[in-house]
Structure 1
Amino acid sequence: MTLRLDRRRFLTGLGLASALPLSGCFDPLVASDSTARNVLEKANDLTYRAQRLLLRSDQLAPEFAASEIRQPMRPNGTVSPQDADYMVLVRENFASWRFTIDGMVERPMRVSLDELRAMPSRTQITRHDCVEGWSCVAKWTGTPLAGLLDQAGVKAQARYVVFNCLDTMENGFLGPVRYYESIDLVDARHPQTILAYGLNDAALPVANGAPLRVRVERQLGYKMAKFLSGITLTDSLQAFGDGSGGYWEDRGYEWFAGI
C-alpha cells in the first residue's frame, strides 16, 4: 500500500504538532528559559523553514462559495475590550480612530476608517482555523496590507510587521499588557493578507475585532490580531512584548502558525 500525504496536511501537521500541547494552560515547563521552550522554538523554526521551502510566496489559501457560509463567524479571544480609550471609540463609532504605520518606513501614515474603506479592497470567503480545534467559513472585506506598505515605503532593512492592538489582556508587572502579533514581510505582502473592516457583507462587529483586524489566511487564528490601532515595521521582534513575536507566543505558542 502506498501512503500519500498531501502538502497541506503535511504542513498542517507540522504546525499543530507544536501548537496543540500549548492550547490550554501553561506551566513552568514552557517558561522562556526552560529546555522545553528551547525545543519548541527549534520545532517552530523547522516549521517556518519547511513552509517557506514548500510554499510559493503567492500561493492562495482555499476560498469558498457563499453557500458554504453556514453560521455567523464565531468570535475568538477577546470579544469586548473594556479599555477606556477603546470604549470611547466604540461610542463614537470609531470616528476619531486612526490607523498608524510607523517604524522602518519612509513615510509614516495615519489614516481613518473612512480612508481605508476608500482604498482598493479585496473580498474573500475563507476558513478561520483556531488552535483550539474549531473552524468557521466567513466572508471578509478589507484593504490589502501590501498596498499600504507600498504607500508607506518599507525600508530595505525591515523584516517584520508588528500589529498593535487596543485590547488589554492582563495587568503585568510594568502595567497593562495589550495584545500584539507579528508576521514577516512574505506573509504581509501575500494577496490574501488584508486589513478587514467588513464581515459577511456588514461592518465588522466589536466581537470580531472592530474597527479593524488582520486576516492572514495561511496561518492559525491567533495570528489574526483584532482591535487594531496600527502597525510597526521592524528588523527585530526583541523590543516588542517579551520578544517572541506575539502575546501568545510570549506564553509558549509557536510564532509561525502556518496551515
Structure 2
Amino acid sequence: MSRIIINRRRLLTAAGVAASTLPLAGCDALDGMLSSGATARDAMAKANGLTYRVQRFLIGADSLAKEFSESEIRQGQRPNGSTDPTDATYIALRDAGFAGYRLDVGGLVDRPLRLSLDELRNMPSRTQITRHDCVEGWSCIAKWTGVPLAAVLDEAGAKPEARYVVFRCFDTMNLGLSGDVAYYESIDMLDARHPQTILAYGLNEEPLPVENGAPLRVRVERQLGYKMAKYIRSIELASDLAPYGQGKGGFWEDLGYDWYAGI
C-alpha cells in the first residue's frame, strides 16, 4: 500500500511541476497534449478516474487520516501558494479583523446561509492534529480547529442531487497574459461529509493567520494540499462541475492536475 502511495505522490509531483510551468512557458506542444479532447489528456483523465475508484474501495468512506500528538508539532504550518490576497473586499475585511466576514452557502440547498465567524465558531467544532502533504514534496504537522463541513451542509439542507461542494476564494492566481483568475476548488460529497473535513478558523490554538488562509480554509485530510482551499469567500453545492472555471473542478485541475488527489 505504501509503495502505491509513494509512486502516486511522485507522479503527482511531476505532473504538478509540468502543469505549473504552462502559464509561464506557453509551450504549444504541451498545451495541445493537455487540451480538452487531446489523447494524452483523455488518458490522464481515465487513469485519474480509475485511481479515484480504487482508492475509495481500498480506504473506505470513513477511514481517518493519521492524527498526531502535540509533541510532533515541530514547526509552524508552512505557508504556500497565495499568502496575502490583493482583492479589495478581502483587504477591507482583513483590516477590520474580519468582523464583517460572511460565509455564503448556496447552490443546491434548501436554506441558503450567510454565516459570520462568530456563528461558525458557535457551531460544533473539531480539533485535529494532522499532516499537510504538498504536491511539491514537503509535509508539515499542525493542529487545526474548525466546524465540520457536514454540520454546515446539514444546516443548509443539502439537496439529494448535490454531488459536489465548490469553494470560491478571495485570492487570485496570475496566469501571465491570461490575467488573474480567482482560485476555486471542489470535493465530492463523500469527502465533504468525512469526519475530518472541517472549515478551519484556528491553527495551533491561535486564530488562523492570513498567510495560512484566514479567516477560513477547508481541511480535507485524505487529499493533497492543493485541494484545501484558503480564503474561502463562498460555498456552492452543485450537481456538475462544468459551470466552474474550465469544468475540471479547480484552479490547478484546469492546468492539468488530478481532480482527485487522495493519499
TM-score, normalised via structure 2 length: 0.91
Measured on the aligned residues, the alpha-carbon RMSD in Å equals 1.7
1:120 aligns with 2:124: yes
- Please tell me whether the aligned partners of residues 105 and 233 of structure 1 are also in contact (alpha carbons under 8 angstroms): yes
The Cα of 1:104 is off from its aligned counterpart by 0.4
5 Å-filtered alignment, 1:136-175, equals 136-170=140-174
1:59 aligns with 2:53: no
The Cα of 1:46 is off from its aligned counterpart by 1.0
5 Å-filtered alignment, 1:69-80, equals 69-80=73-84
* In structure 1, C-alpha distance between the alignment counterparts of 2:4 and 2:48, rounded to whole Å: 14
1:239 aligns with 2:239: no
Deviates more, 1:187-196 or 1:19-28: 19-28
- Please tell me whether the aligned partners of residues 16 and 135 of structure 2 are also in contact (alpha carbons under 8 angstroms): no
SS for the counterpart of 1:231 is: strand
Gaps of 5+ in 2: 23-29
Which of residues 21, 25, 30 in structure 1 aligns to 2:15? Answer: 21
- 1:36 — aligned with what? 40
Deviates more, 1:216-225 or 1:114-123: 114-123
1:49 aligns with 2:43: no
* In structure 2, C-alpha distance between the alignment counterparts of 1:108 and 1:122, rounded to whole Å: 23
Which of residues 211, 224, 228 in structure 2 aligns to 1:224? Answer: 228
- 1:180 — aligned with what? 184
- Please tell me whether the aligned partners of residues 15 and 257 of structure 2 are also in contact (alpha carbons under 8 angstroms): no
* In structure 2, C-alpha distance between the alignment counterparts of 1:15 and 1:230, rounded to whole Å: 30
* In structure 1, C-alpha distance between the alignment counterparts of 2:162 and 2:239, rounded to whole Å: 4
Label 1:185 to 1:12 Cα distance change in 2 as closer, same or farther (>3 A): farther
Identity of aligned residues (%): 59
The Cα of 1:176 is off from its aligned counterpart by 4.4
TM-score, normalised via structure 1 length: 0.93
Label 1:236 to 1:12 Cα distance change in 2 as closer, same or farther (>3 A): farther
Label 1:174 to 1:135 Cα distance change in 2 as closer, same or farther (>3 A): closer
Which of residues 110, 120, 131 in structure 1 aligns to 2:135? Answer: 131
Label 1:20 to 1:172 Cα distance change in 2 as closer, same or farther (>3 A): closer
The Cα of 1:215 is off from its aligned counterpart by 0.1
Give the structure with the higher percent helix.
2
* In structure 2, C-alpha distance between the alignment counterparts of 1:215 and 1:9, rounded to whole Å: 25
Which of residues 89, 92, 117 in structure 1 aligns to 2:93? Answer: 89
The Cα of 1:96 is off from its aligned counterpart by 1.0
